[in-house]
């Protein structure tokens, strides 16, 4: 897993394989690990895989002052 700074947070992501890049984005409330089997098969087929944990999920830090729970997302 690699990390990159995004504003005040650090984002964890997988970056492996070679070839044309494929960006795999998880949904709520998953992490990049959701894509593990698909990512492996795509890499074996010759693609570069980029699979981040979105802000506040998995290995990524939450952004200061930003909630990621269901209540924050639906605005209740």
CATH dotted code for 2-74: 3.40.50.1820
Distance CA 23, CA 49 (A): 6
Residue 47 pLDDT exceeds 90? yes
For 49-63, how does the pLDDT look when each residue is reduced to its tens digit (9 = 90+)? 999 998 888 999 887
Distance CA 71, CA 8 (A): 23
- B/e letters for 18-32, b = 16+ CB within 10 Å, e = fewer, are eeeebebebeeeebb
Write down the pLDDT at residue 56: 85
18-22, 23-27, 65-69: the lowest-pLDDT one: 65-69
- Both tokens of 22, joined, read 């494929």
Could you tell me the pTM of the whole model? 0.81
């Amino acid at each position: 897993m690699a990390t990159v700074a995004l504003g005040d947070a650090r984002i964890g992501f997988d970056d492996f394989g070679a070839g044309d890049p494929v960006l795999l984005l998880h949904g709520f409330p998953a992490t990049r690990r959701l894509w593990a089997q698909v990512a492996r098969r795509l890499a074996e087929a010759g693609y570069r895989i980029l699979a981040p944990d979105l802000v506040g999920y998995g290995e990524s830090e939450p952004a200061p002052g930003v909630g990621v729970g269901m209540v924050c997302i639906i605005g209740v």
